[in-house]
Amino acid sequence: MIIVRDFSRELVKHSPFASGESSLDRWLKEQSGQQDRRNGVRTFLAADEAAVRVAGYYSTVTYELTPEDAGETFGRIPRYPVPAVLLARLAVDRSYQGSGIGRLLLFDALARLERNSHDIGFELVVVDALHEDAACFYLKYGFRRFLDHELKLYMTTKDLRATFAADLT
């Protein structure tokens, strides 16, 4: 059974992990523990309980959109940077891809952010897709492209709340 759980350094240490994107694999192995300890980046794991290994992960971090970037997309230049959350990484190990774990992780992230949005102010959830395939994955679930950044996508907190308010996962 696959469950989404809090970060575990031990589980990461003992898991082979190869998503096909070496930068995402390396980050999990080499950076996630340190970032978790420092409270800089939060990482959540899709754990295969039977195999005792990581099947996938995502991480989130605070983010600010420049007034210029926000202005080009929303039609007005705000006076201040726009507070956001960055869904910084999302990856599934190759041997688990195509079985719904990417969707499980994305929905877990969005439901979690919806809950957090009641306590912490942010206007957008932002994703930097690594390539067009990944962008298509996010578009499928309601993200929209920034006008002049093809691989940068967002979901407004308003839409997040409308879609993920009552745990619809």
Ligand X SMILES: CC(C)(COP(=O)(O)OP(=O)(O)OC[C@H]1O[C@@H](n2cnc3c(N)ncnc32)[C@H](O)[C@@H]1OP(=O)(O)O)[C@@H](O)C(=O)NCCC(=O)NCCS
Of 4-12, 32-40, 61-69, 84-92: span binding ligand X (CB under 6 A): 84-92
Give the E-state strand segments of the chain in sequence order: 2-6, 42-48, 53-65, 82-92, 124-128, 144-146, 149-156
Is 137 an interacting residue with respect to ligand X (CB under 6 A)? yes
CA atoms within 13 A on the CB side of 162: 6
Q: CB 105 → ligand X: shortest distance, Å?
A: 7
Is 21 an interacting residue with respect to ligand X (CB under 6 A)? yes
| Stretch 103-132: interaction string toward ligand X, x if CB under 6 A | x-------------------------xx--
Tell me the two tokens of residue 80: 């201040």
Q: Is the dihedral of CA 143, 35, 49, 21 positive or negative?
A: positive
Please state whether 98 falls in left (phi above 0), alpha (psi between -120 and 50) or beta.
Answer: left
Q: Is the dihedral of CA 54, 101, 90, 130 positive or negative?
A: positive
Is 2 an interacting residue with respect to ligand X (CB under 6 A)? no
**What single-letter DSSP state applies at residue 109?**
H
Q: How many residues bind ligand X (CB under 6 A)?
A: 21
Q: CB 106 → ligand X: shortest distance, Å?
A: 8
Comparison of 31 and 97: residue with beta carbon closer to ligand X: 97
In the bound state, the residue with its beta carbon closest to ligand X is 102
Comparison of 75 and 98: residue with beta carbon closer to ligand X: 98
Q: Which of 98, 121, 166, 167 binds ligand X (CB under 6 A)?
A: 98
Catalytic-residue membership of 141 = no
Q: Is the dihedral of CA 119, 125, 130, 132 positive or negative?
A: positive
Given 57, 58, 96, 138, which residue is catalytic? Answer: 138
- CB neighbours (10 Å) of residue 167? 9
Q: CB 121 → ligand X: shortest distance, Å?
A: 25
Comparison of 49 and 68: residue with beta carbon closer to ligand X: 49
Q: Return the active site residues.
A: 138
